């Protein structure tokens, strides 16, 4: 499986072997990512499109051209399904990622950058588009080493990163803060707390355990507050199951409805952080925590 990274930036500036263009069936340029790729890459890309694809390209298929003036060596064009006009077969969207990786293998590309296919004017629901991209890339048999999922918008980048860390969590080393998050509590259900838990695990994956519990609690609390944008103490007096205690974070919403995407700060204050401190004590000895 390739290493998958979420990247905030412009796909046309990615220094990789190949970038993927979300093209239209005519293969003659267009708006959105397609227009940006043609503008930045110059006329050589269009000339190659006309020569290689005189009849365009089918939905779900992929093919390559020169990258022209782009930093990449190749552009792999793929035509996503247009959800807005009724093309809602998810296998077509999955096929775009699968076929693009197959073309990358044919070219010998070892690094590739994708946009979120079909989420612009084609209207594919973003949460499902992100899931389809990550699931398909993670399951693909490919010789590509690195895959970047590139988002120009910070909110979209956060959502991709949250799903990526949930489905393809980075490895954590022994003796790191991240190892405290290896066993996930069962209380989460579909709540956004599970996504926050996995984000913390990823952020702390390589951070060595501190020498004292107070430093650990301060570290964890600071990152929680940074992510949710609110002090942990603000809602401590409210039961975690009370809806007024919930903070909705769109990047943690996988589209399940109900309480999806909500983080409950009272749970973290009274249960989540103490669980992590107890695990720290188990690793460091009973004297690692203060006297109760």
Instruction: Give the tens place of pLDDT for each residue, 226-235.
Output: 999 999 887 7
Q: Residue 259 pLDDT more than 70?
A: no
User: How confident is residue 1, by pLDDT bands cut at 50, 70 and 90?
Assistant: confident
Q: Indicate the pLDDT class of residue 256, thresholds 50, 70 and 90.
A: low
For the residues 56-81, what does the mean pLDDT come to?
Answer: 98
Please tell me which residue, 20 or 253, carries the higher pLDDT value.
20
Does position 244 have pLDDT exceeding 90, yes or no? no
Give me Rg for the CA atoms of the chain: 22
Range 51-67 average pLDDT: 97
Given the residues 10, 15, 17, 34, select the one marked as catalytic.
Answer: 34
pLDDT of residue 290: 59
Report in angstroms the alpha-carbon separations of 170 from 2, 78, 179, 205, 223. 12, 29, 11, 7, 18
Q: Which domains does the chain have, with CATH numbers?
A: 3-167 (3.40.220.10), 177-288 (no CATH)
CB atoms within 10 A of CB 127: 18
**Mean pLDDT, range 158-173, rounded to an integer:** 93
Going by pLDDT thresholds of 50, 70 and 90, the confidence category of residue 258 is low
pLDDT of residue 237: 77
| CA 49 from centre of chain | 30
Return d(Cα 143, Cα 102) in angstroms, integer. 9
Q: Is the pLDDT of residue 254 over 90?
A: no
Report which of residues 94 and 191 the model is more confident about.
Answer: 94
Residue 239 has what pLDDT?
76
In this predicted structure, what is the pLDDT of residue 245? 78
Q: What is the pLDDT of residue 261?
A: 85
Q: Which pLDDT does position 209 carry in this prediction?
A: 95
DSSP letter at 88 equals -
- pTM value is 0.88
Question: Is there a catalytic annotation at residue 34?
Answer: yes
Sheet holding 74-79, edge to edge: 3-8, 146-151, 111-114, 18-23, 74-79, 62-66
pLDDT of residue 274: 93
Tens-digit pLDDT profile for residues 90-109: 999 999 999 999 999 999 99
| Residue-level pLDDT at 87 | 97
Say if residue 287's pLDDT is above 70. Answer: no
């Amino acid at each position: 499986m390739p290493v998958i990274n979420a990247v905030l930036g412009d796909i046309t500036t990615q220094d990789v072997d190949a970038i993927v263009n979300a093209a239209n069936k005519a293969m003659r340029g267009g708006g959105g990512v397609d227009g940006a790729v043609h503008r930045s890459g110059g006329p050589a890309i269009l000339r190659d499109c006309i020569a290689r694809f005189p009849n365009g390209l089918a939905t779900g298929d992929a093919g390559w051209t020169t990258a022209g003036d782009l930093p990449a060596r190749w552009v792999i064009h793929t035509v996503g399904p247009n959800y807005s006009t009724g093309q809602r077969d998810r296998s077509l969207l999955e096929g775009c990622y699968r076929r693009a990786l197959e073309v990358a293998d044919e070219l010998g590309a070892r690094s590739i950058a994708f946009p979120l296919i079909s989420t612009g004017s084609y209207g594919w629901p973003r949460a499902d588009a992100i899931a389809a991209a990550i699931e398909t890339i993670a399951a693909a048999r490919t010789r590509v080493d690195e895959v970047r999922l590139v988002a120009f918008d910070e909110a979209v980048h956060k959502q991709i990163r949250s799903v990526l860390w949930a489905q393809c969590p980075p490895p954590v080393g022994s003796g790191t803060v991240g190892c405290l998050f290896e066993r996930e509590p069962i209380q989460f259900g579909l709540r956004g707390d599970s996504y926050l838990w996995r984000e913390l695990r990823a952020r702390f994956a390589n951070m060595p355990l501190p020498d004292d519990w107070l430093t650990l609690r301060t570290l964890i609390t600071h990152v929680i507050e940074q992510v949710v944008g609110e002090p942990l103490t603000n809602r401590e007096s409210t039961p975690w199951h009370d809806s007024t205690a919930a903070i909705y974070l769109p990047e943690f919403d996988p589209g399940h409805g109900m309480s999806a995407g909500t983080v409950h700060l009272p749970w973290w204050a009274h249960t989540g952080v103490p669980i992590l401190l107890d695990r720290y004590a188990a690793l460091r000895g009973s004297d690692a925590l203060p006297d109760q």
